[in-house]
Chain A
Amino acid sequence: MRENVVEVQGLTRRFGAKTALDNVSLGVRPGIVFGLVGENGAGKTTFIKHLLGLLRAKTGSVRVFGLDPVRDPVGVLGRIGYLSEERDLPDWMRIHELLNYTQAFFPKWDEAYARELLETFALDSRQKIKTLSRGQRAQTGLLVALAHRPDLLLLDEPSSGLDPVVRRDILGAIIRTVADEGRTVFFSSHLLEEVERVTDDVGMIHAGRLVLNAPLDQIKASHHRLTLRFRTSQAAPPRLPGILFCEGAGLEWTVLCDGALDVLRAAAEKQGARIVEEGTPTLEEIFVARVKQTPSARKEA
């Protein structure tokens, strides 16, 4: 079995009184697309910064390709293509200067691929980075992250602020391509629709804690949205195993649960309810349910 590309154990990070990451453990298998989802300020960027060695793991350990990114930045960063959330690029450079400069750091730089991407994104290589639009800036950042065909592509909120066309092109094509070549993609986002479209594994982070980490298929298979109808009006929400979210009143309630369907059906029947509708929730619904658990559901959980 191949070693995990990313292996994080018991990572905790505090900034003053705020706990940005709380005992996070996570492994990313090679050749997959891993999506880290969470609200703004949940700790996604902090986590990625640890993978890049920009933050030192004060508690716990971080290994990327089996290496410590702080002790061996060349060994780790030389195999990573990174696109930051702020699209941090030197404004004073022209695109071709940036390509020429970046090329020097990566022996595996693929010039033909860089040219191809330049054409795909319709970028003018003579243009100064300062004058690029937000979308073009993201495309340029992605270009330099991809052109050396990295073993791990790290994207921090790659589609934030981009128009739908660029978003679809960039995320759909590039992430899939890179993953298909046996490379690994790790990206963070709060746009769950796009995560659902491209990821193999999903990690959900909330207030610094990793609340869920599993393959997307498994997550979808284990979560169910059920509409229950009771014979008599209910004052309190139904109590089902693995309930995450519940809304409704009186006779009809809709619940979102994590558990085996048979068990849920039996529990509903026991409480005198009939399941009138069964469905698979979207990733967004699962995420919202986990983040915004109703008090009763939290108690139940």
Chain B
Amino acid sequence: MRSIGRALTWEFWRQYQWGFFPIFSWNTFLLFWIWLIPYKISGGAENSPRHIEMVTGWYAFYLYAALFSCGAVLLSGFVDKRKRMTFSVRHYALPVRTSVLIAWQMVCATIFMFMSVLAMAGFFRLVTGLSFPVLVPALFCSAVLVWTTAGLWFLVGSQVLTLLFFAVVPLLLIWGFGGIFFRETWQSEMGTFGKAPLPVLFLLFLISLLAAYLIGVVGAARDRRGDAFSLMPIREWFLERFGTLRVRQKRFSSPVAAQFWFEWRQKGLIMPIIAVAVHAGIIVFILVGVMVGDAFDTVLGFSFFQWFVWFHAGLLFGMRDTYSGKWEHGAFTATRPLNNRDLSFAILKAGGASIAVTFAVCVLALLPWVVMGSLEHLPGKHAAHPYLLAFGYLCGALLLSWTLMALGACITLTGRKSVLVIPLTVLSAFVVGMMTLTAFGVLSAGTRKTLFEAFEIIIALGCFLGVLAAFRAAYRKQLIGKGLVLLPAGLWLILVVCAASLYVRFHVPLEPVSVSLLLFLIGLMALSVAPLALAPLALSWNRHR
């Protein structure tokens, strides 16, 4: 390779060649179903206004998804993965000017992103025959990517600012760009989607590219000479005055207490902080008058539906540490003189405590509405029992959060990524398969119902027998004692009784009794206690390879 440009382009391509095609095919595949499914399911006419409206909305959504997935791949490749979100020392050691290095990476990334969106949207256009916009989204995605990388290079050295940047700037960009090029169009009709004046659009894109380039060069040049932006002086000042407040001086009462502290300090506060931030954001939105009518619904929704993120939080809890993101337990944690039960339970306990604190934050946030009597206005069929229903939901949400968090933690505790990837792939294939069969009308309503009922029973049996086998294995390997076999069995019985009572109280009056659904619930309840056996088993598998 005789030129720097060719060498850098080659390196870029070698890094991302395996990322481009999967992203392209996955997004195209999804987009195709987005186009197909709505009208097949709704039974409406192809390319009817309703169909187009649905598809356009989803298209925009998937552009964002594609943007972030591509962005994530690009960024993870750019950076020195082990340490910082910037170029590696190897790059800096090359006899190349920083401006050239940045220019090349930016140009390559822009072209990569532009081409991937272009290919995706173009393919979609070809297949569906709809006049989907291609250029505007491609420019938009490229601009966001470039600004994100420039921002990262500028802020390298400060993890706090980088995280803040990741949280705020993409949202602002989407809001800003979306306001100019998307909002007016995607909500109206397809034909006007790409009618923003093209020269203006290109000019804006070029200006933003130039600005991002300058910011990136300044940041990377500073980083290259070891003068990265840092909040350290402020941090040191703060620690000098208040450092003793957060530093633990007291001795730990036991090894388990020490391990719990270890897990909690790393991961425990992440979710409570997010909950506080979300509620603070809601308050700000209420104060500035953006969100008034739907504020209560948002708070309630966040409280009841946060279980969705607890699986991901659980994956984080099971990891060796949050910084390295490694699944395999390294020498430090694996050589603690703690048995597998205590070590894994310390992790679960930290996760459980995190759930408790997060829910406490949510309940506190809900209190004003309870005081104001907003729960009385709960919509739906159960308005007559708002508090009982809210309590039931809350308990359900708590249980679901615990179950998902603990199962997520068990998955990462195994230290093997295939444990997550294989079941998720099988599940996705099943769901997509069912959707496809439904969309093409292969399955009649009756067959579909029978299939789902059979699925419910299989899942229930699978859960129950699987959990039983897990407890048996953990007991035989002496990872847990008799007490830890009997206690979960008792807990499971209590949960089953509670679930059955709630089912009878709220579901039976509305719909006929479904044996499969009841069995499904009973089977799922077993998953709530499963981590007590699965976590030591998983850790043992990971720790003693």
Residues of B within 8 A of A60 (CB): none
Residues of A within 8 A of B543 (CB): 53-54, 73
Q: In whole Å, how far is A104's beta carbon from the nearest beta carbon of chain B?
A: 3
When the two chains form their complex, are residues A89 and B332 in contact, meaning their CB atoms are under 8 A apart? yes
In-complex Cβ contact of A97 among B248, B544, B545 (8 A): B248
Task: State in angstroms the CA–CA spacing of A84 and B243 once bound together.
Answer: 30
When the two chains form their complex, are residues A105 and B340 in contact, meaning their CB atoms are under 8 A apart? no
Q: In whole Å, how far is A10's beta carbon from the nearest beta carbon of chain B?
A: 19
Q: In whole Å, how far is B388's beta carbon from the nearest beta carbon of chain A?
A: 44
Stretch at the interface among A74-82, A176-184, A187-195, A292-300: A74-82
When the two chains form their complex, are residues A88 and B332 in contact, meaning their CB atoms are under 8 A apart? yes
Stretch at the interface among B95-103, B254-262, B365-373, B496-504: B254-262
Residues of A within 8 A of B258 (CB): 101, 104-105
Residues of A within 8 A of B251 (CB): 100, 103-104
Render A96-127 as a binary contact track against B, CB cut-off 8 A, 1 for contact: 11001101111000000000000000000010
When the two chains form their complex, are residues B252 and A101 in contact, meaning their CB atoms are under 8 A apart? yes
Q: Which residue of A lies closest to B331 (CB)?
A: A84
Contact of A211 with B by CB under 8 A: no
Contact of B338 with A by CB under 8 A: yes
Q: Which residue of A lies closest to B340 (CB)?
A: A73
A interface, by DSSP: helix, strand, loop or mixed? loop
| Contact flag A54-B331 (CB < 8 Å), given A94-B247, A97-B247 | yes
Contact of A52 with B by CB under 8 A: yes
Task: State in angstroms the CA–CA spacing of A101 and B545 once bound together.
Answer: 26
Render B239-277 as a binary contact track against A, CB cut-off 8 A, 1 for contact: 000010001110110110110011001100000000000
Interface residues of A in 53-100 (CB under 8 A from B): 53-56, 70-71, 73-74, 76-78, 80, 82, 84, 86, 88-92, 94, 96-97, 100
In-complex Cβ contact of B544 among A55, A82, A100, A106 (8 A): A55
When the two chains form their complex, are residues A92 and B266 in contact, meaning their CB atoms are under 8 A apart? yes
| Contact flag A104-B255 (CB < 8 Å), given A70-B544, A88-B330 | yes
Contact of B80 with A by CB under 8 A: no
Q: In whole Å, how far is B203's beta carbon from the nearest beta carbon of chain A?
A: 44
Residues of A within 8 A of B261 (CB): 101
Give the total number of A-B pairs whose CB atoms are below 8 A apart.
Answer: 79
Query: How many residues from B make CB contacts under 8 Å with A?
Result: 30
When the two chains form their complex, are residues A54 and B332 in contact, meaning their CB atoms are under 8 A apart? no
Contact of B337 with A by CB under 8 A: yes
Residues of B within 8 A of A84 (CB): 330-332, 335
Interface residues of B in 328-371 (CB under 8 A from A): 330-332, 334-340
Task: State in angstroms the CA–CA spacing of A78 and B248 once bound together.
Answer: 23
Contact of B453 with A by CB under 8 A: no
Q: Which residue of B lies closest to A130 (CB)?
A: B323
When the two chains form their complex, are residues A105 and B336 in contact, meaning their CB atoms are under 8 A apart? yes
When the two chains form their complex, are residues B255 and A105 in contact, meaning their CB atoms are under 8 A apart? yes
Contact of B53 with A by CB under 8 A: no
Task: State in angstroms the CA–CA spacing of A105 and B340 once bound together.
Answer: 14
Task: State in angstroms the CA–CA spacing of A104 and B257 once bound together.
Answer: 8
| Contact flag A73-B331 (CB < 8 Å), given A53-B544, A56-B545, A104-B257 | no
Task: State in angstroms the CA–CA spacing of A76 and B543 once bound together.
Answer: 14
When the two chains form their complex, are residues B262 and A101 in contact, meaning their CB atoms are under 8 A apart? yes
When the two chains form their complex, are residues A74 and B337 in contact, meaning their CB atoms are under 8 A apart? yes
When the two chains form their complex, are residues A54 and B262 in contact, meaning their CB atoms are under 8 A apart? no
Q: In whole Å, how far is A102's beta carbon from the nearest beta carbon of chain B?
A: 8
When the two chains form their complex, are residues A92 and B545 in contact, meaning their CB atoms are under 8 A apart? no
Residues of B within 8 A of A91 (CB): 323
| Contact flag A73-B339 (CB < 8 Å), given A91-B323, A104-B254 | yes
Q: Which residue of B lies closest to A72 (CB)?
A: B339
| Contact flag A73-B337 (CB < 8 Å), given A92-B323, A101-B261, A104-B252 | yes
Q: Which residue of A lies closest to B540 (CB)?
A: A70
Q: In whole Å, how far is A66's beta carbon from the nearest beta carbon of chain B?
A: 16
Residues of B within 8 A of A106 (CB): 337
Q: In whole Å, how far is A81's beta carbon from the nearest beta carbon of chain B?
A: 10
Interface residues of B in 204-248 (CB under 8 A from A): 243, 247-248
Residues of A within 8 A of B323 (CB): 91-92
Interface centre among B331, B336, B545 (most CB of A within 10 A): B331
| Contact flag A77-B332 (CB < 8 Å), given A55-B545, A70-B544, A90-B321 | no
Q: In whole Å, how far is B473's beta carbon from the nearest beta carbon of chain A?
A: 15
When the two chains form their complex, are residues A77 and B336 in contact, meaning their CB atoms are under 8 A apart? yes
Q: Which residue of B lies closest to A73 (CB)?
A: B339
Task: State in angstroms the CA–CA spacing of A50 and B49 once bound together.
Answer: 67
Residues of A within 8 A of B335 (CB): 52, 54, 77, 80, 82, 84
Interface centre among B254, B258, B337 (most CB of A within 10 A): B337
Residues of B within 8 A of A105 (CB): 255, 258, 336-338
Further 11 A-B residue pairs, CB within 8 A, beyond A53-B544, A77-B337:
A54-B334, A73-B338, A74-B337, A77-B335, A77-B336, A97-B247, A100-B248, A100-B251, A104-B252, A104-B255, A105-B255
Can you give 10 A-B contacts (C-beta < 8 A)? A54-B334, A54-B543, A54-B545, A55-B545, A73-B340, A84-B331, A92-B265, A92-B323, A100-B248, A104-B251
Top 10 A-B residue pairs of the complex, sorted by shortest distance between their CB atoms = A104-B258, A84-B331, A104-B252, A77-B337, A78-B337, A88-B331, A88-B332, A88-B330, A56-B544, A70-B544
